[in-house]
Amino acid sequence: MAILFRAIWVIIAAFLGRKMDFCGVSLLPQRVWPIDLDINVHMNNARYLSVMDLGRIDWIIRTGAWRLMRYEGMAPVVGGCMVRYRRSLKPFQAYRLRSRLIGWDDKWAYFEQVMESRDGIACLAVQRAGFTQKGKLVPPAEIGAKLRYSGPIMPAPAWVAGWAGQEAEFVRQAEGF
């Protein structure tokens, strides 16, 4: 329930806030609430990912992708995530979530998301995300064109290919489990 109230707040603020370029950075100030805590009395690892959803929601609304999605019957999806937890976030600690598009390939868009407090980076992640329409992924370049993005092509970082290869091997091994 706690994330639902945050989501409502983020949605309202995004619609009322400044529009953002396709390659802009979403900044969301947040705070660790008691409902975010695990038995170690720090932010639960699953909550980090839930909060990161809010960063992508803010990006979707502020770039205009939300209107495009609604008009064309699209839905956002996450296809993979790589996360690195670096520091604990304690009860009531303030932090901010920074989300930005770092590139795309023929199928996926890649978002860098960083949670940072005064103490430094608490968590960083790269999310492979996209938009589906009638069950198929819409190429990110097509989304950019429909949003009138005219900037440079942003190929996915080179290390993403390595991640994809490692993930394919992981899936092969998991299927044999």
Q: Are 138 and 152 in contact (CB under 8 A)?
A: no
Q: Where are the domains of the chain?
A: 2-175
Look at residues 34, 40, 45, 50 and name the one whose alpha carbon lies nearest to residue 91: 34
Q: Could you tell me which CATH class the domain 2-175 is placed in?
A: alpha beta
Q: What residues form DSSP beta bridges with 68?
A: none
pLDDT in tens, the chain (177 residues): 578 999 999 999 999 999 998 889 999 999 999 999 999 999 999 999 999 999 999 999 999 999 999 999 999 999 999 999 999 999 999 999 999 999 998 899 999 999 999 999 999 999 999 999 999 999 998 998 888 888 888 888 888 878 878 888 888 888 877
Do the bridges between strand 94-104 and strand 109-117 make them parallel or antiparallel, or are there none, so unpaired? Answer: antiparallel
How much is the pTM?
0.90
- The pLDDT of residue 54: 97
- The pLDDT of residue 33: 95
Contacts of residues 141-148 at CB distance under 8 Å and 24 or more positions apart, as own/partner, are: 141/104, 141/106, 143/65, 143/68, 143/109, 144/22, 144/104, 146/68, 146/72, 147/22, 147/63, 147/64, 147/65, 147/68
- The pLDDT of residue 164: 78
